[in-house]
Structure 1
Amino acid sequence: MGLRNRLASIDQKIRLRGNDEKHEQTDAWSNRDLIPLPPNRRTWGWFNYFGFWAIASLNLANWQTPSTYLTMGLSVPQAMLIIVISRILIALFSTLIAWIGLKWHIGFTVQNRYSWGMKGSWIPLSQRILLNFIWNAVQCWNGGRLVAVCLTAIWPSYARMKNTFGPDMPTTTDQFVGFVVFWFLSTPFLWLRPEKFKTPFIVVCVWCGVGMLAWMTWALSTAKGVGPLWHSGQSLPAGSPFGTSWLIMAGINQSIGSLAAGITNGSDFSRYSRNRRSYIYGTIASCVVTGVLVSLIGLVTAAAAQKIYGEVYWNPPDLLMRMMDNGNGSSRSRAGVFFLAAGFAFTAMFENICGNSIAGGIDLAGLFPRYIDIRRGAIITFVAAWVVQPWQLINKATTFIAVLSSFSVFLAPIIGIMACDYYLLRKRRIRLSHLYRTHDSSYYFWKGVNWRAIPAWICGWAPTIGGLVVTVRRDLNPPKSLVELYYMAFLIGFFISALVFYALNMLFPVYNMDQIDDTDLYGTFTEAEARRVGVAPFDEDSINGVAAGRRSLDNIVIVEDGKGGGR
C-alpha cells in the first residue's frame, strides 16, 4: 500500500491542471493546449504568420534549393520556375488545411479525430512525432555547424581544435561542441508559448533578412558581377531517361514534399490567428515572396562567390569559413562572418523550436493529455535529440536522411484525407464537443477507429513507395514507370487518398456527418463568429452543466451501431 500511495501521489503531482473557470478541462482527451482556442489566446496578426513562414525560408535549406535543380541538369530559369510554382502550391495546400484552425480553432492533433477516430488519430500523430524527433535532432546539428563558424570567428584557433574522439565516432570535437552550444542556447526558448512568438519573429526576419541582402551585395560588389553559374543552361546527362518536363515535375514534388510536415500542422498555428485575413496575407507574402527571394539571393551569392574563389559554395557554413580563411582572415572579415553566421544560427534555432519542438509538443499532448502540454512535449522532443544522435545520421546514414526527406509519400495521403473529409463530406461543419469524449461521440466509430481512413491512406502511398525505394537505393537502372510515379508522389498521394476515402464513405456512409453543437460550449467564438458558424453564443450556466456531465462520463467506451456512427 505504501508503494501504491507513493505512485498515486507522484501521479497527482505530475498531472496537468487546467483553469476550470476558463473551461480548460484536463482528462484523457483534453487539456489547455488541445481545447478550441478562446478569443483571448488568439494573438497572431499578419506579421506573426509572415515571421512563421519567414523562418521556413530564411534558412540554409532554402538558400541551397537552386543547387538541387541545377545538379539535375536544369537551367537557372527552369530552377527558379520550380521554386515559384512549388511555393504557390505550398501556400495553397497550407491554407486548405489551416482553414479549420481559422474557423473552429483546433489543431492537427484534434483535427484528425473526426477523420481517423478518437484512437485512430494516433496513427498520423505517431508519424508526425517520429519526424519531429528526428528533424529536431538534425536541425540542432545543422545549427551547431553555424555556431562552430561563430566560435571560429571569435577564436580562430577553434577551427584547429584537436579531435579527441576516436575513429568510431563519426564527428569531430569542434563539430560536437558546436552542437552542444546550440542545444543549450536553444533551451530557454522552449518555455515561450506560441502566443508570445512575435518578438522572436521580428528579430529573425530583420537580422537574417538584412544579413542575406548584405551578403549578396558584398559578393556582387567584390566580384563585380555574377559568375558562370548564373548563366548555367540546360545540361541534361547524356542518355537520361527523363526529359525536362519530368525533372521539373520531380523538382516541384521535392520542394512541396520538403515542407509537407509544415503543411499538415497548418491548423496548429492558424488557430492562433486573430482573423482570417491575418493568416492569408502573412502566409502569401512570406511563403511565396520571401521563399522565392531567398532562393534567388542564394543563387546570386553563390554565382558571385564562384567568380571570387574559383569554385561554387552552396553550403553557407563552407562559404563563410572560406570568406575568413578558416579563421585566419582579418578582423573585419571575421566580424562580418560572425554577424552572418549568428543570424543564420538564430533563424535555425527558432525554426527548429517552432517547426519541430513546438509541433512535437502539440502532438505529444494529443497522446498523453493528462500529463503533457505544449511546453512539456517540446522539452521531451528537444531532449530526444541526444537519443537520436544526429551526428550518426548526418555523417554516416545519408540514405536515412534521404528517406526522411521523402516522407511526404506518407504525409500527402493524410493531407488528402483531411481535405476530403472536411470540405466534401462534413461540409466544413464540426461538432466540437464530440472531439473530446468517447461516450456518445460521433467520432468514436468502431472501437475508436474509423476504418475507412486506413485503406484510403494505404492506397495513397502504395503506388509511389516503389519509386521511393529505388530512388533511395540509387539503383542504376530502375523501372522508369516507378520513378515517374515517385516524381508525382505528393499529388498522387493527395488525390488518390481523397478519392478512395470519399468512395468508402459513399459505400459505407457515416450518418449525420455535418452536425454541429447547438451552443458554443468552450467559449471559443466571439458573438460575430458564433453567428457565422451557426451556434448559440457561449453561456456560462450551460457550460457548467456540460462540464459536470463530461467528468462523470470520462473514459466510457461505446460500440458502433450498424450504420457506421457512434451512439
Structure 2
Amino acid sequence: MPNVPHPHLAALDPEGRLYNEDLAPSTERHWHSYNYFAVWMSAIHNIGTYTFVAGMFALGLTAWQVLLSLAIGITVLYFGLLLAGRMGVETGVPFPVMARLSFGIWGANLPALVRAVIAIAWYGIQTYLASLAVVVLLLRIDPGLSSWQNRSFLGLSLLGWACFLLLWLLQMFVVTRGMEAVRRFQDWAGPLIWVVMLGMAVWLFSQANWHLPMNRSVQPVKGGAPLAVIGGAFLLVATYATMMLNYCDFTRFGKDKKAVRFGTFWGIPVNFVAFAAVSVATTVGALTVFGETITDPALIIAKVPNTGVLVVGAIMFIIATVGVNVVLNFVSPAYDLANIWPKKITFKRGGLISAVLALVVMPWKLYSSPVVVNYFLGGLGALLGPLFGILAVDYFLVRRGHVVLDDLYRVDEGGAYHYSRGVNRTAIAVFVPTAVVSAIIALVPAFSSAAPFSWPIGVVLSGVAYRWAMRRAAASSRQTSVARVVAPQTVDALD
C-alpha cells in the first residue's frame, strides 16, 4: 500500500526540494516480526556470507574459533541494529531524512550519497558474482554452452551476459514494485536457501563418513588466534555496517518496537548463528572431502553427480542473490537518490536509476580491479563507522530521541535542522577527520593489523568528538543568546 500523503508537510516545501510521499514519515505500519526475520534471512542466506565464513579458515582459524568469532560479531551487530531500528520505528522516516537531524537538510546528501555509491557498486558486483555461479552450473548441465564462453562483449562472455541480465531483470521485477513487493518477496525467499545449505552440509557430512574435524586449520594463524578471532568479528560487523546505517529504511514500516526487536532477534542472533554453524560445517566438509577450502558454494553443488540437484541449486542461488541485493543494495540508494531531487525522483525511480547504474559501471571490471575494490569501495566502506557514530550519538545522546518531524521538511531558516545554510558544520567538521583516520587504518599497509577494527574505531572517534563538539556549540549559542538579552538592558541603564 502506498504511503498516505501529508498535505501539511507538502505545504512546508511547495517546490518539492525536501518532500515527496516516499520520503515522508510512514503511515502504513504493518510489518510484523516475521517480516524482519525474513529480511535478515534474505540478507544473510547468500553466497557472500558463506564466502566470508570460508575466508576465515584461510586466516588459519579452526572451526571452533571461526564460530566464536562469528558469535562475537553477530552480538555486536545485533545491538547496533537495535539502535538503528529504534530510530526508524520512532520517527517513521528513511535514512536520508534521518541524516538531516545531524547533518542538516542539505548536508544529509553527503552520507546519503556515500551509502548510495557503495550500494550501487555492490548491487552490480553481487549480481555479477551470482551470475558466475549460474554460468558454472549451466556449463555443468550442458557443456555445449561452452561455445558461448568463447565470445565476449565489453569484457564479458555472451553466456556471462545472459546470466547477468537474467538476474538483473529478475531483481528489477521485484524492486520496481515498491517496498510492499520487497516485503512480500522476502517473506518466502529467505527460507528457501536453507534447503540448499542444509542439503549440501548433510551431503558433505556423509561424504566425510559422518565426521568433521572441527579443530583442523589450513595454516598457522598470523598474529595469534585471539587477535584473529576479534578481528574477524569486527570484519563481520563491517560487512553489514551498510545495513546498520540504513536499517530505518525498513523499521519505519514496523507495527511497533516489539515487532522490530523480536524480528531482529530471531533474524540475527538466532538465525545468523545457525546459518554460520551450517556454513562452517559445509566449509569443513569441503576441506575434508576435497582437500581444499572452497569459497563458492555453487562450486560444491557443481560436484554433486545429479543434474536435478544442479538445477535446483542454480534456482536457489538466483533467489538468494535477488534477496540479498534487494535488502542490502537496492532499498537504500532508491531512497538516497530520491532525497537528492524529491520532486522528480520517487522511490521506484531511484531504484530504477540505481539498477541501471549498476549495469552501466560494468561490475565485472570493477571486481577485477583490486584498486577499485580495495581502495575505492574499501575506502568508502571505512566511512560508515564515522557516519553511524555521528547519527547514533546525535539521536540518542544529543537529542535523546526528540525529533521535530515537520522541521525535517522545512526549507526556511526557521527549521531546527537548517543550521547554517542547511548544513551542520559541526557534523562535517567531525566527520571529515574521523573518516580520514578510519580510511587510513583500513587501507594503509602499515596499519594492516588494525584494519579489521577500522569500523569500531570510526564509531568511537566520531561519536565522542561529535558529542563534545555539539556540547561546545550549544554552550556558545547560550552565551550569544545571553549577550543579546543583556546588551540592550545595559544600554538602557546607561541612558
Q: Is the shorter-chain TM-score for this pair beyond 0.5, marking a shared fold?
A: yes
Distance 1:225 1:281, change over 3 A: same
Structure 1 or 2: more helix by fraction:
2
Equivalence map 1:100-249=2 (5 Å):
100-149=87-136, 151-152=138-139, 155-159=142-146, 161-165=148-152, 170-226=155-211, 228=213, 230-233=214-217, 235-236=219-220, 240=222, 242-249=223-230
**Measured at CA, do residues 189 and 234 of structure 1 come closer, stay the same or move farther in structure 2, by a change above 3 Å?**
closer
- Residue pairs, 1:295-374, within 5 angstroms: 295-324=276-305, 333-374=306-347
Residue 406 of structure 1: CA displacement?
A: 5.6
Aligned residue runs from structure 1 range 479-558, under 5 A: 482-509=447-474
* Equivalent residue number for residue 386 of structure 1: 359
C-alpha offsets along residues 142-179 of structure 1, whole Å, 9 cap, x if unaligned? 2212332453465342245341127xx54433223211
Structure 1's 71 and 311: CA in aligned 2 closer, same or farther, altered over 3 A? closer
Q: TM-score, normalised by structure 1?
A: 0.78
Q: Does 1:259 align with 2:240?
A: yes
Structure scoring higher RCO (CA < 8 A, sep ≥ 6) equals 2
- In structure 2, the CA distance between the partners of 1:159 and 1:292, relative to structure 1 (3 Å rule), is farther
Which residue does the alignment assign to 2:372? 400
Which segment drifts farther, 153-162 or 26-35?
153-162
Change (3 A) 1:419 1:206: closer
C-alpha spacing 1:233/1:110, structure 2 compared with 1 (3 Å): same
Alignment RMSD (CA, Å): 2.6
Change (3 A) 1:195 1:355: same
Answering whether residue 51 of structure 2 is matched by residue 67 of structure 1, we say: no
Question: Alpha-carbon deviations, 1:460-480, whole Å to 9, x = none?
Answer: 233333332334xxxxxx3xx
Q: Distance in 1 between matches of 2:198 and 2:242?
A: 28
Paired residues in the alignment total: 475
Contact 2:249-2:331 at 8 Å conserved across structures:
no
CA–CA separation in structure 2 for the residues paired with 1:21 and 1:53: 34
Matches within 5 A, 1:410-429: 410-429=383-402
Are 2:175 and 2:181, in contact at CA under 8 Å, matched by a contact in 1?
A: no
Deviation at 1:299, TM superposition (A): 2.1
8 Å Cα contact 1:110-1:366 kept in structure 2 = yes
Distance 1:215 1:22 in 2: 55
The answer as to whether partners of 1:257 and 1:490 remain within 8 angstroms in 2 is yes
C-alpha displacement of 1:72 = 1.3
Q: Distance in 2 between matches of 1:76 and 1:212?
A: 17
Runs of 5+ unmatched residues, structure 1: 1-16, 325-332, 472-477, 514-560
Shift in alpha-carbon separation, 1:368–1:87, aligned structure 2, 3 A = same
1:432-463: CA deviation from partner (whole Å, max 9, x where unpaired) = 11100121101101111111001211232333
Structure 1 residues 495 and 508 mapped into 2: Cα distance closer, same or farther (>3 Å)? same
Q: Taking structure 1 as reference, are residues 67 and 18 closer, same or farther at Cα in structure 2, changes over 3 Å only?
A: closer
Distance in 2 separating the partners of 1:214 and 1:306: 17
Compared with structure 1, are the counterparts of its residues 401 and 226 closer, same or farther at alpha carbon in structure 2 (3 Å cutoff)? farther
C-alpha separation between the residues in 2 aligned to 1:234 and 1:353?
35
What's the secondary structure of 2:474's corresponding residue? coil
8 A Cα contact 1:133 1:388, kept in partner: no
Q: Distance in 2 between matches of 1:125 and 1:183?
A: 23
Cα distance in 1 for residues equivalent to 2:289 and 2:67: 23
Aligned residue for 1:446, secondary structure, equals coil
Shift of the 165–273 alpha-carbon distance from structure 1 to 2, 3 Å rule, reads: same
- CA gap 1:406/1:92 in 2 versus in 1, 3 angstroms: farther
Shift of 1:133: 1.5
Q: Confirm or deny that 1:453 pairs with 2:427.
A: yes
Of 463, 466, 472, the match for 2:440: 466
Cα distance in 1 between the residues matched to 2:17 and 2:332:
20
Q: For 1:68-121, what per-residue CA distance to the aligned partner results, in whole angstroms no more than 9, with x for missing partners? A: 222112222111111111111111111112212111111211111110111111
Residue 280 (structure 1) aligned with residue 261 (structure 2): yes
Structure 2 counterpart of 1:291: 272
Give the match for residue 488 of structure 2: none
| Of 14, 33, 36, the match for 2:22 | 33
Q: Within 2, Cα distance between the matches of 1:146 and 1:111?
A: 37
Greater alpha carbon shift after TM alignment, 307-316 vs 95-104: 307-316
Give 5+ residue unaligned stretches, structure 2. 482-495
In 1, Cα distance between the equivalents of 2:272 and 2:361? 29
Alignment of 1:37-52 (within 5 A): 37-38=26-27, 41-52=28-39
Equivalent-residue separation in structure 1 for 2:452 and 2:192 (angstroms): 36
C-alpha distance after superposition, 1:33-61 (max 9, x if no partner): 111111xx112100110011111110011
The answer to whether the 8 Å contact 1:434/1:442 transfers is yes
Give the TM-score of the pair, scaled to structure 2: 0.89
Counterpart AA for 1:488: F
SS at match of 1:369: coil
Deviation at 1:338, TM superposition (A): 1.5
Contact 1:146/1:342, CA 8 A, preserved across alignment: no
Partner of 1:551: none
Deviations 1:279-335 (A, max 9, x none): 1111111122222222221221232234433433221122222334xxxxxxxx111
